[in-house]
Chains A and B, each alone.
Chain A
C-alpha cells in the first residue's frame, strides 16, 4: 500500500515559514488567508496489505525518525 505521512509543527510552536508564506500571499493581494502552516510530506510504499500492522509500523517510524515529537505532529494516511 501507499503511505503518506504529513509532518507539521505543533499548534503553539511558532511556524516562521508559515508566517513568511502568509506574508507573501498578502503581498500578492490574496484575501481571506489565515493560519498558514508549512510542513513536509513523506510518501512511500509499504509491502503489506494489513492496515493495522501498517499503521502500527508507520507510527513507530514517525516516533523514531520521521517527526521530532518535541516540536512536530504527524498524520498518517494509508492508501490501498
Chain B
C-alpha cells in the first residue's frame, strides 16, 4: 500500500502524516508540488496540512495552481483516493474537488486543541472502521476552518451522505468551535473518493499524546 503525500512551500504536516501511515504499515513518498506527476503506484494521495504559500490571498488559493494539482485532478477523476487534511481540505475546496469553502473562524481566533467529533456517515472507505454515531477525539489547529456552503449545497451533501464528521461534545451532540455550517468538520465528494476534514487524524496516533483515534480513521484507506 503506497501513500503519496503532497508538499507545497509552507506545508508542515507532511512528516507527521508520513509517520502515521508508516506506523500503520504503508510505504510513503513525499511529492514536491513542482512535480507534474504523482507516483504511478499511489493508492492514496494526501494533501497534508500546514500553510501552503503562507495562506497568502486565501488559504489554499495559490497552491491550487501548483504544477502537481493538474495530476491530482486527473488522479481523482479516475477514481483515485484523495485525502485533504486541514490546509489540504482548503486546497481541495479551492480547487473545486470538494464543494464549499473554509472561512475565517467565527471567533477570529486560531484554535488549537483536542476536539470530539461525531461520525455522521460511514458508507465510505475513510470511516468504514467506525460506526455512525461514534465519537472520536482528534486535534484541531486552524484559523480558517469555518466551513461554508449555501443551503442548496448543504441539502446535496446530506442527500448523498457526503457529511462525514461533525464537531460534537463527548456525547455526540453538535458543539461548534469555529462557526462551520451545521458544525461540519469533514466531507467527501459525491463519488466518495475525495475526502476533506479540518481536524488532524495524523496527530492522534498515540494514547500517550492524548488519543489514538486517528489510527482507526486512517486505517480505512489501507485495505
A9 to B, closest residue via Cβ: B103
Of B35-43, B105-113, B121-129, B162-170, the one with at least 4 CB within 8 A of chain A = B105-113
The answer, yes or no, to whether B61 is at the interface (CB within 8 Å) is yes
Flag if B148 contacts A13 (CB, 8 Å): yes
- C-beta contact mask, A56-80 vs B, less than 8 Å → 1, else 0? 0000000001101011000000000
Contact among B62, B107, B148 with A71 in the assembled complex (CB-CB below 8 Å) = B148
A6 vs chain B, min Cβ distance (A):
14
The answer, yes or no, to whether B94 is at the interface (CB within 8 Å) is yes
User: Which residues of B does A touch, CB under 8 Å?
Assistant: 57-58, 61-62, 65, 93-94, 100-101, 103-108, 146, 148-150, 179
User: Which residues of A does B touch, CB under 8 Å?
Assistant: 9, 13-14, 16-17, 20, 65-66, 68, 70-71
Flag if A66 contacts B179 (CB, 8 Å): no
A65 to B, closest residue via Cβ: B61
The 4 closest A-B pairs by CB, nearest first: A70-B101, A71-B101, A16-B106, A68-B101
Flag if A16 contacts B61 (CB, 8 Å): no
Classify the secondary structure of B's interface with A: loop
Q: A-B contact count, CB below 8 Å?
A: 34
Given contacts A70-B148, A71-B103, contact A20 B108 (CB under 8 A): yes
B144 vs chain A, min Cβ distance (A):
11
A9 vs chain B, min Cβ distance (A):
8
Flag if B179 contacts A68 (CB, 8 Å): no
Please measure, in the bound complex, the distance between the C-alpha atom of A13 and the C-alpha atom of B94, giving whole angstroms.
Answer: 17
Task: Give 7 CB contacts A-B under 8 Å.
Answer: A14-B106, A14-B179, A16-B107, A20-B108, A65-B61, A70-B100, A70-B101
Please measure, in the bound complex, the distance between the C-alpha atom of A17 and the C-alpha atom of B144, giving whole angstroms.
Answer: 12
Flag if A17 contacts B94 (CB, 8 Å): no
User: What 17 additional pairs, Cβ within 8 angstroms, besides A17-B104, A71-B148?
Assistant: A13-B148, A14-B179, A16-B103, A16-B104, A16-B105, A16-B107, A16-B108, A16-B146, A16-B179, A65-B57, A65-B61, A66-B57, A68-B58, A70-B93, A70-B100, A71-B101, A71-B103
A43 vs chain B, min Cβ distance (A):
14
B62 to A, closest residue via Cβ: A65
